[in-house]
Amino acid sequence: MESSIITEFITANFTTVSVIGVIVSGSFVHGGYNTDSDIDLRIITANSSKLHQKGIQQYKGYMFSFVMYNHRECLKMMEMQFFHHSKFEARMLSTGTLVINNDTENMKRLLTKAKSIMQQPFGNIPSQQHKIIAYTIWNHFNKVIKMDSENTFFTYNYFYFLRNVLSQYSTFLQLEYIVEDKLERYFFDEEYRKKHQIPEFPDTEFVKLFTDCLRDASKNKLQQLFTHVFQKIGAYDMKHFTIEF
């Protein structure tokens, strides 16, 4: 498919704002695009525009998924996400393709900032946050492990704990949390990680234990995963535990 359809879509639907640049990302750029795929766009407008939108729109048989914000707000979004251990917007911009460029200087600034964030490690986690992570995981695990496995809501709580432990442990390792529908490729697809500039998860034992828990929703598997993570975090004595705040 030609990128001209993107230009057509922008011209037809965004006439009331000053578009300075459009970046296409996702499967359209990285491969795997098919008739069921969305075309992911980041529409950057001039700072004079106050209209920010997120939406999905069908146009000439193609489905477009777009986020539109001005140049200043885009910069702020990347910085805010980075502060919260996320590089999502920076990744969309830095790995995407610039298909419309009506302001070379500002678009260059934006893409340079995105690439800089992608190369920048997250800051060190304070010792108190280490303890908060440990308590959060320990507390959640104990609630799940004490449930009757025949309880209707056991499975729900079991998988919710898996999501929580992945999120908390990722923060502890100073990693970005990868959303659920991308998780399998994140763990096992080197080419996917390379295309999206995502480092490999450094704890291969965790990946194995986590995957085992997905295959077999048992308390025994959950105990093995918890023990591994708790030892990595620091194995605090939860009988004598305090947090300063």
pLDDT tens-digit readout, 89-125: 999 999 999 999 999 999 999 999 999 999 999 988 8
Give the end-to-end CA distance of the chain in Å, rounded to a whole number.
55
Average pLDDT over residues 209-217: 97
Res 2: pLDDT = 67
C-alpha distances out from residue 94 to 106, 128, 197, 233, 238, Å: 14, 33, 9, 32, 43
**How many CB atoms are closer than 10 A to CB 154?**
15
1-15, 102-116, 132-146, range with the lowest pLDDT: 1-15
Which pLDDT score, from 0 to 100, does residue 170 have?
96
Domain chopping of the chain, boundaries: 4-119, 127-233
Report the pLDDT value the prediction gives residue 1, as an integer from 0 to 100: 53
pLDDT at 91: 95
pLDDT in tens, 154-192: 999 999 999 999 999 999 999 999 989 999 999 999 999
Rounded Cα gap, residues 112 and 194, in angstroms:
19
Which amino acid is present at 206?
F
- In which band, very low, low, confident or very high, does the pLDDT at 36 lie, cut at 50, 70 and 90? confident
Judged against a pLDDT cut of 80, whether residue 205 lies above it is answered with: yes
Cβ of 199: how many Cβ atoms within 10 Å? 10
CA distance 40 to 38: 6
More confident residue, 37 or 103: 103
Mean pLDDT (whole number) for 212-223 = 97
Number of H helices, E strands in the chain: 11, 5
Dist CA 85 CA 133 (whole Å): 14
The predicted pLDDT at position 86 comes to 94
CA pair distance 94, 81, nearest whole angstrom = 15
Check whether domain 4-119 has CATH 3.30.460.10, yes or no: yes
User: Is residue 34 pLDDT above 90, yes or no?
Assistant: no
Residue 242 pLDDT > 90, yes or no?
no
33-47, 56-70, 111-125, 196-210, range with the lowest pLDDT:
33-47
- Which token pair is 94? 């830095």
Question: What pLDDT score was predicted for residue 20?
Answer: 97
